[in-house]
Structure 1
Amino acid sequence: MSTRWTSPSTDSICCVFWLLHLPQLFSTCVAFSLVADMGIWRGAIGNWSMSFWCICFAMTFIISIVELCYLYSNFPFFWHNICVTYACYAALICLSTSIIYSITYVQFVPYGPFRDRAIAATAFSCIASVLYVIEVTVMWDLYELKEIFFYKHTLRALLKVLETFVAGVIFAFLSNTSLYLHQPALEWCVAVYSICFILAAVVLLLDLAEWDYIPFRPFSIFQLVLTLLSILLYVSALVFWLLYQFNEEFGGLPQRFMDVSCIDGLSYDMCTWDQQLAVAILTAINLLVYMADTVYWALQVSVQTRG
């Protein structure tokens, strides 16, 4: 059964969302520009933050053009599913970027124009996250989202969004290739993150597509198998990452002070040991999310089987 919604006129809807998209575009663009203007002072974390703000700006711009030109009817996927899911991602991205950028970089920058720009960029990133949250709320009010995938199965969608989002943050830290290159066990960890991200993204897209001809029970079992596979892969990644990064017998550094980059007072970037620890924590978090996903899907399959 296709999803239906009730809404005001199309023109009024476009007007409402443009009132949100314009400040979203402005906030992400200003945050990106302020950090870009810092030159070599922006550091690796600044480049990482810029990439996320740039992605949010580009996606918001594309969505705005599609809505302005009324092109959404040409998409096979349910357009409002895509919009609300993206808005949730964008809110998480801007919020996490604000937190990580301020904790790992801004507080270490000396007082002056560069610190002021970094603080201003963080503020605009926070504003953008609030605007994206408002967009989700507005969509809830304008449409009957109780029948839409993201809201009909809130827990299922939230778990998939978290799985892909946490993997995306892990990839940001792995942009420092020195963390894993030339070490097969650590390269395996990167492969695990990539494989699980792709699997979760495919499942999320299939749900967003609202392909009603897919039988629920076989599709649920299929997702349950994929989630179990992801758990096994993440367990291996967590074990290898901890052993090869923090165990001296495998060439790791168990203590932070043993990393030269962490005791260099002239460095304003997140040191290598901290990045390794961040990846380990995020890996453990995503493993817990996948475990919760497995429990949820096991219950769903069990209920459908008894029915």
Structure 2
Amino acid sequence: MWARLAALVFTCVAFSVAAHGTHLSGGMYDWCMFCWVFSFIGTLLVLIVELLNLQSRTPVSWTNFPITLACYAGLLCLSASIIFPLYFVKGYPNNETRDYRIVSTVFSCLATVAYLVEVSLTRARPGEVAAYMATVPGLLKVCETFVASVIFVFISNPVSYDQHPALKWCMAVYCICFIISAAIVVMCVGECTGFLPFPFARFLSAYALLAVLMYLSATIIWPVFKFESKYNSQSRRPSYCSQTRDPCDWDKLVIIAVLTGINFLIYMADLVYSARLIFVRT
């Protein structure tokens, strides 16, 4: 309860200060505002439902929904805590507007910590029987979908996967794994896993293995076809990239490669934990 109240206050201060005194606009500012407002509204709904004891009347699994929301909110606030100072604080002169931006950044970081504390307090402990989204594999599913969403943002602006069939395969990997992971999260939150015609736990392990193999291929293919001079004439960072504050097209390709590797490691951890769950239950 205290972690949620703290997150509620911190996100409220972050977006209120940003809206009042930062004098900003544009896509990155809109994204940061969305992160704070979405997290604030979601946390407020959770607090209202629990204070009024309406858990049994909600159309979702209340053992899965709060921790899923807290995990997504933590990742969103983390992204805002990184993006906001990089774009709107770094390099700007000291004045009152910059002070407002620093305050929003500080409270965004505090909100991130509050959500991480909530997730840590509500996640399942080793050997404890709990809802799937409270386990490590469930939380990893949230991270997988979040990282894939960020990949989609960078890979589509500009479109950077249509130069070669191998790159289209990478895009297919991102889409397929995102859709399945998101579907698993939705099924768990909506308590629909019992309608599957096969054991849910074994499906999770089989999917984790498939996703690891697919992401392994993308982790290798993307850098080869984007940074190898044999396939791409722009194998080095152009000089104009250092003259702009926003990530240039080449930087976005590097970010995609790094995020692909990160998601590969997340799926590897998911596979290990999912296999352990099956063996423990057996």
Amino acid at match of 2:272: V
Larger mean CA deviation between 116-125 and 61-70 belongs to 61-70
| 2:265 corresponds to | 288
Larger mean CA deviation between 82-91 and 244-253 belongs to 244-253
Amino acid at match of 1:73: S
- Whether 1:263 and 2:245 are equivalent positions in the alignment is no
Residue 183 of structure 1 deviates from its aligned partner by 3.2
Deviations 1:148-173 (A, max 9, x none): 3258x633223223222322332343
- Mapping for residues 91-110 of structure 1, pairs under 5 Å: 91-103=74-86, 106-110=89-93
Alpha-carbon distance in 2 for matches of 1:54, 1:223: 32
Asked if 1 retains the 8 angstrom alpha-carbon contact of 2:39 and 2:73, the reply is yes
| 2:39 corresponds to | 56
- Whether 1:254 and 2:235 are equivalent positions in the alignment is yes
- Mapping for residues 11-90 of structure 1, pairs under 5 Å: 19-20=5-6, 22-30=8-16, 32-33=18-19, 37-39=23-25, 44-64=27-47, 66-67=49-50, 71-90=54-73
- Mapping for residues 129-148 of structure 1, pairs under 5 Å: 129-136=112-119, 147-148=129-130
Query: What is the DSSP-based 3-state SS (H/G/I as helix, E as strand, rest coil) of the residue aligned with 2:158?
Result: helix
Asked if 2 retains the 8 angstrom alpha-carbon contact of 1:243 and 1:252, the reply is no
Task: Indicate the structure with greater helix content.
Answer: 1
| 1:297 corresponds to | 274
Alpha-carbon distance in 2 for matches of 1:172, 1:34: 28
Amino acid at match of 1:183: Q
Asked if 1 retains the 8 angstrom alpha-carbon contact of 2:22 and 2:98, the reply is no
1:241 to 199, 222, 225: 222
Give the direction of change, closer, same or farther, for the CA distance of 1:26–1:299 in structure 2 (3 Å limit): closer
Deviations 1:101-148 (A, max 9, x none): 3346532334445543432221121122233345446768xxxxx543
> TM-score, normalized by length of structure 2?
0.78
Amino acid at match of 1:195: I
Alpha-carbon distance in 1 for matches of 2:260, 2:76: 18
Give the direction of change, closer, same or farther, for the CA distance of 1:299–1:59 in structure 2 (3 Å limit): closer
Alpha-carbon distance in 1 for matches of 2:122, 2:279: 33
Which consecutive unaligned segments of at least 5 residues does structure 1 have?
A: 1-12, 141-145
Which consecutive unaligned segments of at least 5 residues does structure 2 have?
A: none
Alpha-carbon distance in 2 for matches of 1:193, 1:271: 22
| 1:272 corresponds to | 249
Alpha-carbon distance in 2 for matches of 1:18, 1:285: 28
Asked if 1 retains the 8 angstrom alpha-carbon contact of 2:7 and 2:110, the reply is no
Over aligned residue pairs, what C-alpha RMSD do you find? 3.6
1:229 to 201, 205, 210: 210
Alpha-carbon distance in 1 for matches of 2:215, 2:122: 35
Amino acid at match of 1:171: F
Residue 286 of structure 1 deviates from its aligned partner by 0.7
- Mapping for residues 208-219 of structure 1, pairs under 5 Å: 208-209=189-190, 213=194, 218-219=199-200
Alpha-carbon distance in 2 for matches of 1:295, 1:135: 24
Alpha-carbon distance in 2 for matches of 1:177, 1:277: 14
Residue 236 of structure 1 deviates from its aligned partner by 3.3
Deviations 1:199-235 (A, max 9, x none): 1122233344556857998222211222222223323
